[in-house]
């Protein structure tokens, strides 16, 4: 079958691209967040603080939007405080994190650039993220860990260009430095980095597959001892990766004659979910993955779930503030 030849694509320097968000969008860890009407957030913070005091896992799964909304410094602070024990994200999350590091800006105007095919066809992320995938595949390491290593090395290098001055904004670099598992869960063709002729799909598959198993290992700790799983702004990837890894872990533990524990889940979304009823098959909300998977099916064995609705620029800083104060 005929394949598209990516070498035909004209690739432009990332510095020529207009972006929607700069580092000024970052929420300071010392700022006082706007108050919101979300009483369940207080109870969630208490449960997270309790879990960490008992040395239980707090796994933070997210899409790209929390990064775009300026929460990177807050997430980094939660890792530094030992609250987040595993961070997982999508390929797009990795791209936004890298671009904030690389040039202090991210998020191109899709409507503007798709008209003439410039959308996604920029040099930096396409090269470096795919370089990290190849390096991870070759060395048998995780994709997220290796990207963090690459960003940290670029940030520390004396020969680095002046645009590489924003290492403090990288979640991946922070996780690598703190030795906290960070994983990338991507699909082929989902991300602009797949348009690049530097994308080696075998390496991407191997590296992301490695991360899936690293993620499952963290989920095993939750299932064995209890803990907290947070899905923050991921409508498909987060719930699906969580569901598959949960089934794997429960299967293995029960097959080995071990007990499985209940745990706590939370879903951060723009859409509020009714926790009193799962819904019916003839209702559209019944099929919404974050609601169905995160808030109902996975905690029917005695666990507990929270639905936190609102702008991530408000909900995440408020959670951070509560946790800073001890939950």
Is the pLDDT assigned to residue 165 strictly greater than 70? no
Q: Is the pLDDT of residue 167 over 60?
A: yes
Question: What does the pLDDT read at residue 185?
Answer: 98
Average pLDDT over residues 121-144: 97
| pLDDT tens, position by position, 56-102 | 999 999 999 999 999 999 999 999 999 999 999 999 999 999 999 99
**What does the pLDDT read at residue 213?**
99
Residue 67: per-residue pLDDT:
97
Statement: residue 141 has pLDDT above 50: yes
**Portion of the chain with pLDDT greater than 70, in percent:** 93
The pLDDT-based confidence of 188 (bands split at 50, 70, 90) is very high
CATH superfamily placement of domain 8-23+38-324: Deoxyhypusine synthase (3.40.910.10)
- 3-class DSSP assignment, residue 109: coil
Q: pTM here? A: 0.94
Q: Which residues contact 103 (CB under 8 A, 6 or more apart)?
A: 14, 15, 124, 163, 166
Across the range 41-61, mean pLDDT stands at 98
Confidence of residue 158 (pLDDT cuts 50, 70, 90): very low
191 token code pair: 């991300």
pLDDT in tens, 193-237: 999 999 999 999 999 999 999 999 999 999 999 999 999 999 899
For residues 128 and 279, the model is more confident at 128
Pair 306, 296: CB distance under 8 Å: no
Given a cut of 90, is residue 164 above it in pLDDT? no
Residue found by looking up tokens 């869960």 in the block: 185
Beta strands in the chain (DSSP E): 19-22, 57-62, 86-89, 105-108, 182-184, 227-232, 264-269, 304-309
Output 142 or 278, whichever has higher pLDDT. 142
38 has a pLDDT exceeding 90: no
Q: Is the pLDDT of residue 261 over 90?
A: yes
Q: For residues 39 and 318, is the Cβ–Cβ distance under 8 A?
A: no
Mean pLDDT of the chain: 92
Instruction: Tell me: pLDDT of 159 over 60.
Output: no
The pLDDT value given to residue 63: 96
The pLDDT assigned to 156 comes to 81
With 90 as the cut, is the pLDDT of residue 166 above it?
no
3-state secondary structure of 306: strand
- What is the crossing angle of helices 143-156 and 123-139, to 10°? 120
> For 12-15, which contacts have Cβ atoms below 8 Å and span 24 or more sequence positions?
12/118, 12/121, 12/122, 12/123, 13/122, 13/123, 13/124, 14/99, 14/102, 14/103, 14/122, 14/123, 14/124, 14/125, 15/103, 15/163
DSSP string, 231-255: EES-SSHHHHHHHHHHHHHHHHHHH
pLDDT band at 157 (very low <50, low <70, confident <90, very high): confident
- Residue 251 confidence (pLDDT): 98
Per domain, the residue ranges of the chain are 8-23+38-324
Q: How confident is the model at residue 279 (pLDDT cuts 50, 70, 90)?
A: low
What is the pLDDT, as a whole number, of residue 155? Answer: 86
Nearest to 31 by CA among 323, 321, 303: 321
Mean pLDDT of 320-326: 94
188 three-state secondary structure: coil
Q: Long-range pairs for 3-8 at CB < 8 Å and ≥24 separation?
A: 6/195, 6/196, 6/197, 6/199, 7/197
């Amino acid at each position: 079958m005929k394949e598209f030849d990516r070498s035909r694509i004209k690739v432009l320097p990332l510095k020529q691209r207009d972006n929607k968000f700069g580092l000024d969008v970052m929420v300071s860890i010392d700022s006082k967040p706007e108050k919101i009407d979300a009483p369940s957030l207080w109870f969630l913070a208490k449960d997270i603080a309790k879990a960490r005091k008992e040395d239980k896992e707090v796994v933070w799964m997210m899409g790209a939007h929390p990064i775009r909304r300026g929460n990177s410094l807050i997430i980094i602070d939660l890792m530094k405080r030992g609250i987040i024990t595993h961070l997982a994200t999508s390929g797009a999350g990795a791209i936004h994190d890298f671009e904030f590091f690389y040039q202090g800006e991210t998020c191109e105007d899709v409507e503007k650039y798709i008209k003439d095919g410039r959308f996604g066809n920029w040099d930096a992320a396409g090269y470096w993220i795919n370089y990290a995938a190849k390096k991870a595949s070759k060395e048998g390491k995780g994709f997220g860990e290796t990207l963090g290593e690459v960003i940290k090395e670029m940030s520390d290098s004396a020969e680095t260009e002046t645009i590489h001055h924003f290492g403090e904004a990288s979640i991946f670099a922070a996780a690598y430095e703190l030795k906290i598992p960070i994983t990338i869960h991507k699909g082929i063709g989902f991300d602009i980095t797949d348009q690049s002729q530097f994308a080696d799909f075998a390496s991407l598959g191997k590296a992301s597959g490695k991360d899936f198993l690293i993620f499952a290992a963290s989920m095993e700790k939750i299932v064995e001892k209890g803990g907290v799983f947070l899905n923050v702004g991921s409508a498909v990837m987060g719930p699906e990766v969580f569901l598959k890894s949960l089934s794997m872990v429960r299967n293995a533990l029960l097959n080995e004659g071990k007990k499985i524990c209940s745990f706590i889940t939370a879903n951060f979304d723009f859409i509020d979910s009714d926790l009193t009823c799962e819904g019916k098959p003839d209702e559209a909300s019944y099929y919404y993955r974050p609601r169905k998977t995160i808030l109902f099916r996975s905690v029917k064995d005695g666990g507990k779930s929270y639905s936190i609705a609102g702008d991530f620029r408000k909900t995440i800083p408020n959670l951070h503030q509560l946790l800073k104060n001890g939950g």
